[in-house]
């Protein structure tokens, strides 16, 4: 269960960013922003030769005291960043992968919509509902 | 609430309510209760009771409800009497339920009696039901004619109406949508109508027509008492919509499996959607690509986020393309949205692709579609053929072609220029007479090929300009026309109209015969060469002839006038020419007639070949277009499936 989910465009501006405890939204935005550097580092480390073999799931980008940040990059350099609570130890890598896969599928569905211009903010209700389903449910 | 409870509450007759009825009635009761602020208001103001029913609420919700049932006022009176409201003085739950049941009975055609409610009845049908929005806006008020809330309503609705009207006027789709029965065709069950959008579903169910809302809104300015007898005061244009809406109503009442009536697509709507689909994509079993659909739906002037959402709803398989059922669903949602329905959270069951495919089986549609498509195809081809033939001749002749006769004429012109004999004159004369009547026929013929396709409209546009020059051509061939006019009385007597001059000669007065004839010959020859090169004796006549087209009469008179003058021309060429031509005249003309015949047959063969080739061409082009479209669709799919690698 993520605490914050962000979709970053190729040019490193956010297409979609949503966090659950809305009061600490700024903190999450900052974390996502800093994680972009790590993502770029991981991508460049792969090298051009490995582009095809590069796995989309980047894994744990960096851990902080309270949170862990996971990353995922698509072939079009759209990045998905997910922040999860460190205290949520039950969350395994597979689950994170499946969450990213769901994100990616929803993102492609959004892309399929001809009324969506790539580069716009994502305002799809289906996408929202999907993200809500994987966010931490705050009572 | 149970029937027993209802029965126990008041003095009404025992009611047996089915589950659905219970639900329905209790909801209705709750609404009325809520609207009236506790206890349904008194009955319709028209009720015999002089009680100032308006005291309970500005709009008697119960009365509205009853009016919504579209029963005549008398029946409503009877019902209120029977249900005991009048006796009791208020609409308690029992009375209310009895009344509802009686309404159902009345709507089913049963007499309004206590006994009739004992049997199984369908749920009472109400044309318009209140949502919170409605109640908020005091919708019923307008129907009651209470002035209090009407001005507010009117202003609101008029603003909506104007906005929508303007929108609609600008919409390319609006005229097309007008024949539609709008989604909220009368429901067997009441539905929620967010009146806040100013979409007034008037009692007379004019709601169902897209133009009706606008007309209805206009009629709101004069609040009409809505009742089943409503149509009377309404403008005549409502009549048609009423009739259609009623028919749609009946149609819908047949399948009442799904409660969400606004999302049900009627036959008319379905046909219309399919036609639109075909206009975008001829093959009904294939896809409309995302971009094409986007352009099309953008014309509906809905906001992009809304369109985006509609797409999300309707593109069930999220492939970026719309199949026919998906397209119908999307179109229907757009239509609904334009009429003020809020977009649903999820695709309603009646709009699911499977449901749509099942309800309107594809093969049947394909047959009809293909039939109509094939019909349109030959129609397509024919104007194209004509156009192509025209174009060919244009290119050839650098002249304005027109239907076949023109081609013939053009050919003749070419030949005449080549032969430079009386032939052209003959041919032109020949073509002149058949041309004139034929041209008239040809023009309407080309128009009769018109179909609904855009291409044909374009080609149709190309057709009209061409005919006008034709007469000029014939006229430019000069004397032929003139002679024709002169010879026409004798044409029947002539051989086959091929040789106007020779047959014309006899009827003509001798002195003027030779001269006009020679002049004609010379003129034609001269016209072949240049229009002004005529320096021969009939110079003066040349001028009038070459000034052609529109003045055959003048020519006619001219030769006569200048008959004497022709003898004067000092041109030696003219003199000897005229003299010389007189004698060989008949011989030349006979030869020319034979040649003319040969040429004509050749021309006909060429024409036929042309037509065949043109048709082939159009067919191949059509195939090419289809293949292109397929390719584009596939490319789109490929793009979407394969993420772009950008490095």
Q: What is the pLDDT of residue B407?
A: 41
Q: How many CB pairs under 8 A join A and B?
A: 55
- pLDDT above 80 for B264: no
Q: Given a cut of 70, is residue A136 above it in pLDDT? A: yes
Question: How far A67 CA lies from chain B's nearest CA (Å)?
Answer: 31
Mean pLDDT along residues A104-117 = 86
Distance (Å, whole) CA B370 – CA B12: 60
Residue B307 has pLDDT above 60, yes or no: yes
CA B59 to chain centre: 42
Q: pLDDT at position B596, please?
A: 92
Report pLDDT for B100: 76
pLDDT value, residue B615: 94
Q: Backbone dihedral region of B89: left (phi > 0), alpha (psi from -120 to 50 degrees) or beta?
A: left
Whole-structure pTM over 0.90, yes or no? no
- The percentage of residues in chain B with a pLDDT greater than 90, rounded to a whole number, is 7
A positions 31-70 inside 8 Å of B (CB)? 48, 51
Residues in a beta bridge with A73? A79
Q: Residue B630's pLDDT is what?
A: 95
Residue in the block written with tokens 């003299």: B579
Residue burial A93-120, b: 16+ Cβ < 10 Å; e: rest: eeebbebbeebbebbebbbbbbbbeeee
Q: For B328-341, what is the mean pLDDT?
A: 83
Q: For residue B478, which of B436, B535, B516 has the smallest C-alpha distance?
A: B516
pLDDT band (50, 70, 90) for residue B128: low
**Whole-number pLDDT of residue B612:** 94
What does the pLDDT look like over B134-173, one tens digit per residue? 444 433 433 343 444 444 444 444 444 444 444 444 444 4
3 state DSSP class of B129? strand
Residue with tokens 């021969």: B536
Alpha-carbon span B182 to B450, nearest angstrom: 29
- Residue with the bigger pLDDT between A44 and B574: it is A44
Q: State whether residue A125 sits within 8 Å of chain B by CB.
A: yes
- Note the pLDDT of residue A85: 85
pLDDT tens-digit series, residues B516-545: 444 444 444 444 544 444 444 444 444 444
pLDDT at B243 exceeding the cut of 60: no
Q: Which residue has the higher pLDDT, B179 or A58?
A: A58
Among B301, B293, B298, which residue's Cα sits nearest to residue B276?
B293
| DSSP single-letter state for residue B344 | P
Q: Which residues contact B486 (CB under 8 A, 6 or more apart)?
A: B504, B508, B516, B556
Which residue in chain B is spatially nearest to A75 when comparing CA positions?
Answer: B645
Encoded tokens for B320? 């970026």
What confidence score (pLDDT) does residue B34 get?
60
The SS3 of residue A135 is strand
Q: What is the pLDDT of residue B85?
A: 58
What pLDDT does B590 receive?
76
* CB contacts, 8 Å: A109 with chain B: 312, 318
pLDDT band at B319 (very low <50, low <70, confident <90, very high): confident
Q: Which residues of B touch A11 (CB under 8 A)?
A: none
Q: Is B247 exposed, middle or buried (0-12, 13-18, 19+ CB in 10 A)?
A: middle
> Minimum mean pLDDT among A83-97, B194-208, B621-635: which range?
B194-208
> Is the interface score ipTM higher than 0.85?
no
Report the C-alpha gap between A81 and A33 in whole angstroms: 10
Query: In this predicted model, which residue has the larger pLDDT, A114 or B232?
Result: A114
CB contacts, 8 Å: B309 with chain A: 124-125
Q: If interface means Cβ-Cβ distance under 8 Å, which residues of chain B face chain A?
A: 289-291, 293-294, 297-298, 304-305, 307-309, 311-312, 315, 318-320, 345, 640, 643-647
Nearest CA in chain B to A44: B647
Contact A114 B294 (CB under 8 A): yes
Asked if B307 and A116 come within 8 Å (Cβ–Cβ), the reply is no
Give CA separation, B242 vs B216, B230, B257, in Å.
Answer: 11, 10, 24
Instruction: Give the pLDDT confidence score for residue B126 in this predicted structure.
Output: 67
Confidence of residue B91 (pLDDT cuts 50, 70, 90): low
**Does A92 reach chain B within 8 Å, measured CB to CB?**
no
Report pLDDT for B508.
46
Collapsing DSSP to helix, strand or coil, B289 comes out as strand
Of the two residues B113 and A28, the one the predictor is more confident about is A28
Q: What's the pLDDT tens digit per position in B433-472?
A: 444 444 444 444 444 444 444 444 444 444 444 455 444 4
Query: Mutation test of the interface with chain A: which of B294, B297, B318, choosing the one with the most A Cβ atoms within 10 A?
Result: B318
pLDDT value of residue B73: 78
Class of CATH domain A2-134:
alpha beta
Provide the pLDDT for residue B262.
66
> Taking the CA of residue B240 as centre, how many other CA atoms within 13 Å lie in the half-sphere pointing to its CB?
11
Q: How far is A119 from chain B (nearest CA, A)?
A: 14
Maximum distance among all Cα pairs of chain A, rounded to whole angstroms: 47
Residue B1: pLDDT above 70? Answer: no
Helix (H) or strand (E) holding A2: strand A2-8
For A77, B438, B522, B546, the CA distances from B499, given in Å and listed in that order, are 82, 19, 16, 21
Contact state of A113 with B315 under an 8 Å Cβ cutoff: yes
| Distance, CA of B460 to CA of B457 (rounded, Å) | 5
CB B226 within 8 A of CB B202: yes
Which residue would you say has higher pLDDT here, B130 or B109?
A: B109
| Mean pLDDT value of segment B579-586 | 54
Question: Alpha helices of A66-124 — where are they, by DSSP H?
Answer: 93-112
Measured between beta carbons, the chain B residues lying within 8 angstroms of A123 are: 305, 308
Are B105 and B125 a contacting pair, CB within 8 Å?
Answer: no
- Spatial separation of the C-alpha atoms in residues B156 and B221, rounded to whole Å: 11
Edge-to-edge strand order for the sheet containing A2-8?
Answer: A14-19, A2-8, A79-85, A67-73, A57-63
Which tens digits make up the pLDDT trace of B338-347? 888 787 777 7
Instruction: Check residue B452 and give its pLDDT.
Output: 46
Average confidence (pLDDT) over B172-185:
42
pLDDT of res. B146? 40
CA angle B263, B267, B273 (to 5 degrees): 75
Decide if pLDDT at B96 tops 80: no
**How confident is the model at residue B121, as a pLDDT?**
62
How many angstroms away from the CA of A29 is the closest CA of chain B? 25
- Mean pLDDT score of chain B, rounded to an integer? 58
How far from A41 is each of A67, A77, B51, CA to CA, in Å? 20, 13, 82
The helix or strand, by DSSP H or E, that contains position B213, with its residue range, turns out to be: helix B211-220
Distance from CA of A48 to the nearest CA of B (A): 8
**Percentage of chain B lying above the pLDDT 70 cut:** 32
pLDDT band at B15; cut points 50, 70, 90: low
B319 contacts A114? CB cut-off 8 A: no
C-alpha dist (Å) from residue B423 to B414, B427, B598, B626: 11, 6, 11, 47
The pLDDT of residue B616 is 95
- Least Cα distance to B84 among B70, B97, B75 occurs for B97
């Amino acid at each position: 269960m993520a605490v914050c989910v962000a979709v970053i465009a190729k040019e490193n501006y956010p297409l979609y960013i949503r966090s659950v405890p809305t009061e600490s939204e700024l903190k999450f935005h900052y974390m996502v922003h800093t994680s972009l550097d790590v993502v770029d580092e991981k991508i460049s480390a792969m090298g051009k030769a490995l582009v095809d073999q590069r796995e989309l799931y980047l894994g744990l980008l960096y851990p902080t005291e309270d949170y862990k940040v996971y990353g995922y990059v698509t072939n079009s350099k759209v990045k998905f960043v997910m922040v999860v609570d460190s205290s949520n130890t039950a969350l395994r890598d597979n689950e994170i992968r499946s969450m990213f896969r769901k994100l990616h599928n929803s993102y492609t569905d959004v892309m399929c919509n001809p009324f969506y211009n790539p580069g716009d903010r994502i305002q799809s209700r289906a996408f929202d509902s999907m993200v809500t389903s994987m966010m931490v449910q705050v009572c | 609430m149970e029937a027993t409870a209802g029965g126990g509450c008041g003095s009404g007759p025992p009611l047996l309510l089915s589950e659905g009825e219970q639900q329905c009635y209790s909801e209705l009761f709750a609404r009325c209760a809520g609207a009236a602020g506790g206890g349904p208001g008194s009955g319709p103001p028209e009720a015999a009771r002089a009680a100032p029913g308006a005291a309970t609420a500005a709009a008697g919700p119960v009365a509205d409800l009853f009016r919504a049932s579209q029963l005549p006022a008398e029946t409503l009176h009877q019902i209120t009497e029977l249900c005991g409201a009048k006796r009791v003085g208020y609409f308690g739950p029992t009375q209310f339920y009895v009344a509802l049941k009686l309404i159902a009975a009345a709507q089913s055609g049963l007499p309004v009696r206590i006994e009739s409610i004992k049997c199984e009845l369908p749920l009472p049908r109400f044309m318009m039901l209140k949502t919170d929005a409605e109640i908020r806006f005091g919708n019923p008020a307008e129907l009651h004619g209470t002035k209090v809330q009407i001005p507010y309503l009117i202003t609101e609705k008029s603003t909506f109406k104007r906005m929508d009207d303007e929108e609609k006027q600008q919409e390319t789709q609006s005229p097309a949508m007008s024949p539609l029965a709008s989604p909220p065709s009368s429901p067997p069950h009441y539905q929620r109508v967010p009146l806040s959008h100013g979409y007034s579903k008037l009692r007379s169910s004019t709601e169902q027509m897209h133009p009706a809302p606008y007309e209805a809104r206009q009629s709101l300015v004069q609040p009409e008492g809505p009742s089943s007898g409503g149509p009377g005061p309404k403008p005549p244009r409502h009549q048609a919509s009423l009739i259609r809406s009623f028919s749609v109503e009946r149609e819908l009442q047949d399948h009442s499996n799904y409660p969400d009536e606004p999302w049900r697509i009627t036959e008319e709507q379905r046909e219309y959607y399919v036609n639109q689909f075909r206009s975008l994509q001829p093959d009904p079993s294939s896809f409309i690509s995302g971009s094409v659909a986007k352009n099309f739906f953008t014309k509906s002037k809905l906001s992009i986020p809304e369109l985006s959402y509609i797409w999300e709803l309707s593109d069930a398989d999220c492939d970026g393309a719309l199949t026919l059922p998906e397209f119908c669903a999307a179109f229907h949602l757009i239509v609904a949205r334009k009429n003020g329905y809020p977009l649903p959270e999820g695709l309603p069951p009646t709009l699911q692709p499977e449901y749509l495919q099942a309800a309107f089986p594809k093969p049947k549609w394909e047959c009809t579609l293909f039939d109509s498509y094939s019909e349109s195809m030959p129609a397509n081809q024919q104007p194209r053929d004509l156009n192509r033939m025209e174009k060919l001749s244009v290119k050839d002749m650098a002249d304005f072609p027109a239907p076949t006769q023109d081609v013939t004429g053009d050919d003749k012109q070419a030949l005449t220029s080549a032969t430079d004999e009386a032939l052209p004159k003959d041919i032109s004369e020949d073509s002149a007479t058949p041309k004139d009547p034929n041209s008239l026929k040809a023009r309407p013929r080309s128009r009769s090929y018109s179909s609904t396709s855009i291409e044909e409209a374009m080609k149709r546009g190309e057709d009209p300009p061409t005919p006008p020059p034709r007469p000029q051509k014939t006229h430019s061939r000069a004397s032929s026309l003139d002679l024709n006019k002169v010879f026409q009385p004798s044409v029947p007597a002539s051989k086959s109209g091929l040789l106007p001059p020779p047959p014309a000669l006899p009827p003509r007065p001798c002195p003027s015969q030779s001269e006009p004839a020679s002049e004609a010959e010379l003129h034609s020859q001269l016209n072949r060469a240049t229009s002004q090169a005529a320096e021969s004796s009939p110079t003066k006549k040349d001028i009038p002839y070459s000034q052609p087209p529109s003045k055959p009469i003048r020519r006619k008179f001219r030769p006569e006038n200048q008959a004497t003058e022709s003898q004067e021309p000092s041109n030696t060429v003219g003199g000897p020419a005229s003299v010389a031509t007189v004698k060989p005249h008949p011989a030349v003309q006979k030869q020319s007639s034979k040649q003319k015949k040969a040429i004509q047959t050749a021309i006909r063969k060429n024409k036929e070949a042309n037509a065949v080739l043109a048709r082939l061409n159009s067919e191949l082009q059509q195939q090419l277009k289809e293949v292109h479209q397929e390719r584009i669709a596939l490319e789109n799919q490929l793009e979407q499936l394969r993420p772009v690698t950008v490095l």
